[in-house]
Structure 1
Amino acid sequence: MKNCNSVKKAMDFLTQKQLTFVFKDIKKIDNNILNLWLLKRNLNELINLSSTSARKLNLNKEKLQSLSKEELFDLVLLNPTLIKRPIIEINNEILIGKDYEKI
């Protein structure tokens, strides 16, 4: 979502570092992309519990822990705005949120 402030800041950061990147809309992730991310990171790390989407779904730590991995996976695919942003794939790593500042 290019209108997300976190994504805008990350894109500005990458541009200032003169790094080439390809923007992918979080709303267009699919099983393959999510599975690739999960090879490197835990699904719980990807979820933003303070997002509007999480609040609408009444998703909190307790509910998150009560869901199976499959249920959580499906929930994220149906509601990709639950994912913390930005997600940056670089050097065989998945950076979440402000992790990009380590680049």
Structure 2
Amino acid sequence: MTTTPTIYGIANCDTIRKTRKWLDAHQIAYEFVDVREQLPPSSKVSLWLEKVGAEQLVNRRSTTWRNLADSAREALEGGAAEQILLDHPTLIKRPVLELEGEVIVGFSADRYQQHFNV
């Protein structure tokens, strides 16, 4: 593997913990970015939306989504997903794994095994 994957998420998220544990168990080095501490640049969020779409990237089961104003939900549905995700980074489904231009959202051991050939 030529580059190190980057994992975006929240440090205390159970899915992030599971992802990091899986990567560690398979001795895969990675960089972790806590989106609460280091907001991803708009170009990064734009790339994710381009690669996987808002339907996959927005976590509609999160507390943030449940507490989101109706106007923000409507704006998201109306095409303002990038700005809404930048304003509310905890709406980003976790983890976002980025490697060599590929973006994988959510954790799946089977998908990771296939992706990393382990």
- Using structure 2 for the length normalisation, give the TM-score: 0.73
Q: CA RMSD in A?
A: 2.1
Closer, same or farther: CA 9–95 of 1 in aligned 2, 3 Å:
same
Amino acid at match of 1:12: K
**What displacement does 1:44 show?**
2.1
Q: Conserved in 2, the CA contact under 8 Å of 1:64 and 1:72?
A: no
Which segments of 5 or more consecutive residues in structure 2 lack a partner in the other structure?
1-9, 113-118
Aligned equivalent of 1:80 = 89
Partner Cα separation in structure 2 for residue 93 and residue 100 of structure 1? 17
In the TM superposition, what is the alpha-carbon distance from 1:58 to its structure 2 partner?
4.9
Structure 1 residue 34, shift from structure 2 partner: 0.5
Larger % of helix: which?
A: 1
String of CA shifts for 1:48-98, please: whole Å, max 9, x gaps.
111000000156xxx4587321x2221111001001101111243211112
Report the CA distance shift for 1:48/1:66 in structure 2 as closer, same or farther (over 3 A): closer
Q: TM-score, normalised by structure 1?
A: 0.82
For 1:40, the equivalent position in structure 2 comes to: 51
Q: Does 1:5 align with 2:24?
A: no
Write 1 or 2 for the structure with the bigger share of strand.
2
**8 A contact 1:88–1:100 mirrored in 2:** no
SS in 2 for 1:98: coil
Count residues in correspondence: 99
Amino acid at match of 1:38: L
Relative to 1, partners in 2 of residues 1:100 and 1:81: Cα closer, same or farther, differing over 3 Å?
farther
Q: Percent identity?
A: 28
